[in-house]
Amino acid sequence: MIKKILIFLFIAISFETSSQTNLGFENWTFNGNYYELNDWFTSNLFVSLGSNLSCSRSLPFRGSYSLGICPFKVSTFDTLSGFAIQHFEYTKRTKSLSLSYHYNSRYNDSASIIILFYKGYSKDTNNIIGRSTVYLTKNFNWTTKSGDITWKNNLMPDSATITISNSQRNNKDTLFVDEITLTVSSNLKEQFNNNKLTIYPNPVDCILNIDIPKQELENQISISIYDIQGKLVKYCNFQREDNNKLILITSDIASGTYIVYLQGVKTDYHTIFNIQH
């Protein structure tokens, strides 16, 4: 247990944010001894310490390759879970995570894939705003499994981390994973609560007026604009105002459907609007 904690602490302080990529496990680089998975941090790091290769290029569900993960030996009588981790920039409210896998475990253990969404500093667990854990049980044939994302609030994330790990019992038990997919809801109303924000005009051309809720008048607030795909297109911070109205310039945003999102100290507010130039 102590060894596992030390490993994941090492990962937490060493892993940097990158762009989301290679979720189909098609891209690998030969390093002179074995193929290493591109854009992922894996337990192959410990091969140099005398352990077995725990992440390998394998036969696919679709495409050319999948990811195979097995436990790795740290001593004659001790093994630890193999893992692969990717941390990446992500600014959409995902509805679900799905993947294809098969798992030839000799026991009734389960592997898992965990996704965490962060708002702000990603090494602070208090900044986790969404998560899902999908448990992968013994299955000798390729199958597809999914899990819904549970969101703590109505914030949009800044980044996400995907962690895939298997049992630590036997280094011959291999988990095969392919085609990780993040599904974003096309229905904007599914992504937010009912705290409506009053704005005008709607549709708007150049200047959007936003009424500040009374309970937020003395607080610092932020305004975010998201497109229909959940991508952040504009962000502004505002200090305490003497009146209850904010003015937001929209002339630099393309025509289309958007969400204006006000994050206050008391609660969060939103509404859907259109920009027409």
For 109-118, the pLDDT digits (tens) are 778 999 999 9
Domain 2-184 in this protein, CATH class = mainly beta
Per-residue pLDDT reduced to its tens digit, 10-50: 444 344 444 558 999 999 999 888 999 999 999 888 776 66
Query: Are the beta carbons of 159 and 87 closer than 8 angstroms?
Result: yes
Structure tokens at 84: 């692969």
**pLDDT class of 58 with cuts at 50, 70, 90:** very high
Domain with CATH 2.60.120.890 in the chain: 2-184
At 67 the pLDDT is 96
Please report which helix (H) or strand (E) contains residue 28, including its range. strand 28-30
Which CATH topology does 188-275 take?
Answer: Immunoglobulin-like (2.60.40)
Task: Give the number of C-alpha atoms closer than 13 A to the C-alpha of residue 264, restricted to the C-beta side.
Answer: 19
SS3 content of the chain, % helix, strand, coil (to 5): 10, 50, 40
State the chain's mean pLDDT as an integer.
Answer: 81
Domain with CATH 2.60.40.3080 in the chain: 188-275
Whole-angstrom Cα distance, residue 40 to residue 115?
14
DSSP state of 100: E
Structure tokens at 274: 């259109």
Q: Which amino acid is at 129?
A: I
Per-residue pLDDT reduced to its tens digit, 109-146: 778 999 999 988 777 888 999 999 999 988 889 999 99
Structure tokens at 13: 């302080």
Angle, CA of 85, 235 and 221, to the nearest 5°: 105
Per-residue pLDDT reduced to its tens digit, 240-257: 555 678 889 999 999 998
At 198 the pLDDT is 87
Most confident of 8-12, 123-127, 164-168, 202-206: 202-206
**pLDDT class of 237 with cuts at 50, 70, 90:** confident
DSSP state of 23: T
Mean pLDDT of 178-186: 84
